[in-house]
Amino acid sequence: MTMRPITFFRAGSIDEAVAAVSSHPDSAFLAGGTTEIDLLRLNVVQPTLLVDVNDLPLTYLEDVDDGGVRIGAMARMSDVARAPRIVERYPGMSQALLLGASEQLRNMASMGGNMCQRTRCSYFRDGQSPCNKREPGSGCSALTGINRGHAVLGTSEQCIATHPSDVAVALVALDAMIRTIGPDGTNAIPIERFFLRPADTPSIEHPLAHGELIVAIDVPALPVARTSRYVKHRDRASYEFALVSVFSAMRVDDAGNVAELRLALGGVGTVPWRAHRAEEALIGRPATPENFAAAADAEFADARTTPMNEFMVTFAKRAIVRELSEVTS
Amino acid sequence: MTVSTVAPATVEGGVGTSARRPDGILKVAGEFAYSSDLWADEMLWGATVRSPHPSAEIRAIDITAAVALPGVYAVLTAADVPGARHYGLEVVDQPVLAIDEVRYEGEPVAIVAADHPETARRAAARITVEYAVRAPVTDPEDALSRGDLVRHVPVRRFASAGGTALTADVVVTGTYEVGMQDQAFLGPESGLAVPAEDGGIDLFVATQWLHVDQKQVAACLGLPAEKVRLSLAGVGGAFGAREDLSMQVHASLLALHTGKPVKMVYGREESFFGHVHRHPARLSYEHGATRDGKLLYVKARIVLDGGAYTSSTPAVVANAATLGVGPYDVPTVVVEAYGVYTNNPPCGAMRGFGAVQACFAYESQMDKLAAEVGLDPVELRRRNAMTTGSVMPTGQLVHGPAPVADLLALVRDRPLPPAATGDPRERPGGVANTTRGEGVVRGVGYAIGIKNVCFSEGFDDFATARVRLSVVGGEPAVLVHTAAAEVGQGLVTVQAQIARTELGVTKVTVATADTSVGSAGSSSASRQTYMTGGAVRAACQAVKATVLARVGRAGELALVDGKVVASDGAVVASLVDLLGNDVVEETVEWRHKPTRPLDPVTGQGDAHVQYAFAAHRAVVDVDTELGLVRVVEIATAQDVGKAVNPQAVVGQIQGGTAQGLGLAVMEEVQVVDGVIRNPSFTDYLIPTILDMPPMAVDVLEMGDPDAPYGLRGVGEPPTISSTPAVVAAIRAATGRPLTRVPVRPEHIAL
Ligand SMILES: Cc1cc2nc3c(=O)[nH]c(=O)nc-3n(C[C@H](O)[C@H](O)[C@H](O)COP(=O)(O)OP(=O)(O)OC[C@H]3O[C@@H](n4cnc5c(N)ncnc54)[C@H](O)[C@@H]3O)c2cc1C
Ligand code: SF4
């Protein structure tokens, strides 16, 4: 453990924030601090400059286009969860937020920060075990260690860490757009391109340039999302990360076929996991438990497991089948 | 009529009432001063350098960079310990600071004092320790075969007829495992050491037993006991985790070295390394019975992982062995219990103390046996239930009430909770789940446990109380002073209640516990109301005798509402007039009836003081597809002899039950190769309010003639049987064997 002095700077404007971070190599944005301060104290991250973005005018929630919503990056999880337009248009997203962390944390934690939260892998967080995500090239302790909660989808030889966010699962299903302002100007990143799988570079989790600030998350209009849902299964009834979670938004036509489906999974992937294969397997097909099961099988066809986490595949499939069956019944 | 039977019942806030806790509002309002809130002018902050390795030789320690840091006042290692370099509750084997080797991850190696906590931590980080890492011994069976034995306790008792052969018509066997549980108290280890002018030290600390701390700290500092004065600081929970020393010697060393007050406060992660845990256990059982379910014999082998140092492992092993068959009449018993040394985190005292592990195994076995002989689990237990006059496997006669069958009947006869209504909050997994009931199965499970109260095996167990009666502000007032640690259980309240009852005076103050009065023993073994309560009562009675002697005719008089009253109710004198400016003070050292050591070969002996019993019935809904469990309701019945403070009794029962539920379904310190993988409350899960069901509590008051007011220790029994009851209910719902706790979703649904 080493201790370093840290400079704290409260940015008064977006430009100031971006300039401060991009001009200083060991710097980071500080939003609610619920991830950043933890990791700093655990010595997992070691910034020497923290640029506080809490004063920036980014707490808004506003309508865009025809029924979509733009969520400011500094909007707090609890405010977003209870905002009427979120509850009405994207109830599954509201549920995902409310099932995350605790009320106290949600009051602090921002939506932008949530997108950038780090994995709960205990080898990453202990600050010393070999970990390719924290210390590229040092190895992955989780491969042979305690990996009950680790990912079975999107893994690599380098890293099997689970992405812990709940609301991001909803957002990948909704095809949200991450809007940023960086040293090179503004940018819009489709959310599935925002979360990077570990592949050979588990330390790189996002395509953000150093100093690039998330300013908003756009959630497009999506009528089917009005009946969306989020379920989260975990080791205790509250205040715990998911073993497996499922976001679903489905429309079944009069003939009993799946007309529209958005399906995403939490707790099982190295990124918030959009279940594309399952969606493809189901759209246009009868909404039956057999088809749901086949779709779940397809989604996990390439799952890579360890002796400790192989149960997750079974659990996740059951959770999908049950969730879709519930929605249709 | 004797003096002592006149006064009770009449006093407000006396024994048997739910008198208000003086610390209650402060705690709820966040104003109570815990040990971590201590402050002294110009104090320094201590920090500890700990071993990252479970086993290593220390080649060199370089402190130069730490000493060079501005703001650092002292950096100390083992060489700086002036007195004994080891401490320990009974076996003195744990180094104050590591000497040449470390034997567990987190073992203290060096300590630092600086003018700011950050500086202290920074300095600690600059200390370089050169280790030659060794392969840790982490498997208890390996340790046993290597001879790394802390203690072996055999208990062998044979039915007068059957000889030593173990045969029966029905035999069930099973091997069970209990994971390492943490006490998970909320107030981390902390205290403040203040150097005194006489060269001694004043130590303010959150602990369970001031005098045992004093003895060990004094020895390590090389000071006589009277120069090491301890006062109890606000304790944020204990559950056994404060029985061993943590920062006591370290802060004192730094204070003496620097001549300044030194405060040490562990963080949450450090706390996981700062105290002992509950012993993980592996237990193999064989139960032999007749076809109608009468137990003939129980054979058991219990291995408890004691970790790197002795701590209280010897006593935990004795408990597991002597209580190892549960509250049942068993003619033949052959138990072999072992505690071993490994390089895992040290294990020691935790609520339930050896009885918890055994109860999970023997109650699982009783269910298995019930199924085998085709009996209802409660009926099987009833047929074997011990009673007053039963003989324990140790040969000890059970003198006091042993309402085992009654307690079981109470929980069985409670109406069962209604079926789930479909409210999402009632689903296994709570609102986050979606099932509408498909795949959800209800299960009901029972368990009963036995626990010894007070210290056992011939230990000279006593408590001291000083009680002073005088007139303050024109009113009679009592000051009670003991060294007994209020750890949240409500002991301060109970002491005042006893004084009110005995002396007929409502104005009672309980002085802060410290070592200026004699030892009260530990706030453990469910003993403090029995022991310090007994001492306070005895001291009050001595005060009363002195006061009444002034009036004469002592035997016929009583103290009621501040007055001396004759047996016909006539007021003889008021205490105010009788005492004037006098102070009547008595100090009494009080003992329970003596116990005896166990025979080292047969495990026979009257080792325990009192037995306490609690039964649980758990009702669970299990989502059999996803392994999610919702405990719907827990009914419990416990005999407390006398509910000195009924509200506090129910509080203990609910809290203990929650701790047992935690062990059943989520709590485990995960240790891999000697390294703790989840030292945080994000990763070490304890039940939240949503995990804890409503409870139906029956409290029996079957007085124990040997105990003050007939009371029976309350704190531990509820923790013991709630774990097996919850697991039995999950088994009933799923048909899974579930031989290990905590039970996880994948054990239930795959
Ligand atoms: C005990 C605990 C339990 C939790 N449980 C859950 C859970 O169940 N589900 C769940 O989803 N989450 C959970 N969380 C995570 C929590 O949601 C995140 O910590 C939170 O959302 C992070 O937001 P923040 O504003 O506090 O970010 P910060 O901690 O301030 O920042 C996090 C990271 O994001 C960067 N950052 C912040 N804002 C921006 C921005 N606008 N642009 C670019 N980079 C930025 C920071 O530099 C930092 O690297 C839990 C956290 C804790 C501590
Ligand atoms: S799983 Fe990823 S985060 Fe965890 S140890 Fe391996 S590389 Fe590090």
What's the rounded mean pLDDT across residues B72-82? 98
Domain assignment present for B122: yes
Q: Is B59 helix (H, G, I), strand (E, B) or coil?
A: strand
Percentage of chain B modeled with pLDDT above 70: 97
Tokens of B70: 């501005």
Closest CA to A270 of A179, A184, A192: A192
Q: Which of B274, B302, B329 is the last residue of a domain?
A: B274
Listed range (A96-100, B4-8, B297-301) with the worst mean pLDDT: B4-8
Structure tokens at B552: 């004469």
Confidence of residue B523 (pLDDT cuts 50, 70, 90): very high
B226 and B287, same domain (yes or no): no
Q: Which atom of ligand 1 is nearest to the CA of A73?
A: 41
What integer pLDDT is reported at residue B6 of this predicted model? 37
Flag whether pLDDT at A2 surpasses 50.
no
Chain B residue numbers with beta carbons less than 8 Å from the beta carbon of A233 are 429, 432-433, 626, 628, 745
Q: Are B286 and B166 in contact (CB under 8 A)?
A: yes
Q: Give the residue from B471, B133, B81 showing the smallest Cα distance to B248.
A: B81
Q: Ligand 1, residue A38: give the atom nearest the CA.
A: 53
B308 domain-assigned: yes
pLDDT in tens, A227-244: 999 999 999 999 999 999
DSSP count for chain B of H helices, then E strands: 17, 31
Residue pair A52/A69 in contact (Cβ under 8 Å)? The answer is no
The residue written with tokens 């987190």 in the block is: B106
Residue B624 has pLDDT above 60, yes or no: yes
Residue B312 confidence (pLDDT) above 90: yes
DSSP category for residue B311: T
Q: Is A79 on the interface with B (CB under 8 A)?
A: no
B558-570 pLDDT, tens digit per residue, is 999 999 999 888 9
Question: Residue B24 contacts by C-beta under 8 Å, 6 or more apart in sequence?
Answer: none
Amino acid letter, B149: L
| B281-289 and B170-178 strand pairing | antiparallel
Same domain, B24 and B40: no
- pLDDT exceeds 50 at position B252: yes
* Residue type at A48 in one-letter notation: T
Least confident residue range of A143-152, A262-271, B3-12, B37-46 = B3-12
Residue B164 pLDDT: 73
Name which of A66-70, A134-138, B323-327, B482-486 the model is least confident about.
A66-70
B51 or B11, greater pLDDT? B51
Mean pLDDT of A45-59: 97
What are the b/e assignments for B326-341, b being 16+ CB within 10 Å? bbbbbbbbbbbbbbbb
Q: How many domains does chain B have?
A: 3
**So what's the pLDDT on residue B7?**
40
Average pLDDT, stretch B216-224?
98
Task: Specify if B513 maps to a domain.
Answer: yes
Please tell me chain A's helix, strand, coil percentages from 3-state DSSP, rounded to the nearest 5: 30, 20, 45
> B249: pLDDT confidence band, cut at 50, 70 and 90?
very high
Rounded Cα–Cα distance for residues B613 and B713 (Å): 10
Give A275-291 pLDDT, tens digit per residue: 999 999 999 999 999 99
Count of A-B CB contacts under 8 Å: 88
Percent of chain A with pLDDT over 90: 95
Q: Does B429 contact A234 at a Cβ distance shorter than 8 Å?
A: yes
A236 to chain B, closest Cα gap in Å:
7
* Domain co-membership, B718 together with B581: no
Q: Choose the final residue of a domain: B225, B242, B274.
A: B274
Question: Could you tell me the two tokens for B644?
Answer: 């000195």
Mean per-residue pLDDT over chain B, rounded: 95
Q: Kindly report which listed range (A117-126, B4-13, B48-57, B350-359) carries the lowest average pLDDT score.
A: B4-13
Separation between Cα atoms, residue B577 and residue B594, nearest integer Å? 41
Output the CA A127–ligand 2 centroid distance in Å: 11
Over residues B682-695, the mean pLDDT reads 96
Q: Where are the alpha helices (DSSP H) in A163-274?
A: 167-173, 191-194
pLDDT tens sequence across B380-435: 999 999 999 999 999 999 999 999 999 999 999 999 999 888 777 788 877 666 66
C-alpha neighbours within 13 Å on the C-beta side of residue B314: 17
Q: Can you give the pLDDT at residue A1?
A: 42
Q: Residue B364: give the domain boundaries.
A: 281-456+598-749
**B88 sits in which H/E element:** none
Ligand 2 contacts CB of residue A306 (under 6 A): no
Which secondary structure element, helix H or strand E, spans residue B634, and what is its range? Answer: strand B628-639
Q: Which residues contact A143 (CB under 8 A, 6 or more apart)?
A: A160, A306
- Shared domain for B352 and B396, answered yes or no, is yes
**Paired sense of beta strands B332-340 and B295-305, if any:** parallel
The per-residue DSSP string of B373-428 comes to HT--HHHHHHHHB--TT-B-TTS-B--S---HHHHHHHHHHSPPPPPP-S-GGGST
For residues B320 and B413, membership in a common domain is answered with yes
**The CATH number of the domain where B19 resides is what?**
3.30.365.10
Q: Are residues B435 and B578 in the same domain?
A: no
Among A43, A131, A238, most B C-beta atoms within 10 A, so best to mutate, is A238
Nearest to B688 among A2, A128, A239 (CB): A239
Give the residue whose CA is nearest to atom 4 of ligand 1.
A101
Question: Rounded to the nearest 5°, which phi and psi values hold at B203?
Answer: -115, 125
The CATH T-level fold of domain A228-328 is: Enolase-like; domain 1 (3.30.390)
In DSSP notation, A75-113 reads -BHHHHHH-HHHHHH-HHHHHHHHTSS-HHHHHH-BHHH
HSE of A26, CA atoms in CB hemisphere, 13 A: 11
Q: Residue B124 pLDDT > 70, yes or no?
A: yes
- Which residues of B sit within 8 Å Cβ distance of A? 52, 118, 121-122, 124-125, 429-436, 438-439, 625-628, 630, 665-666, 670, 672, 677-678, 682-683, 685, 687-688, 690-691, 744-746, 749-750
Which H or E run contains A262?
Answer: strand A258-266
Residues B493 and B432 in one domain: no
Residue B732 CA to residue B727 CA, distance in Å, equals 9
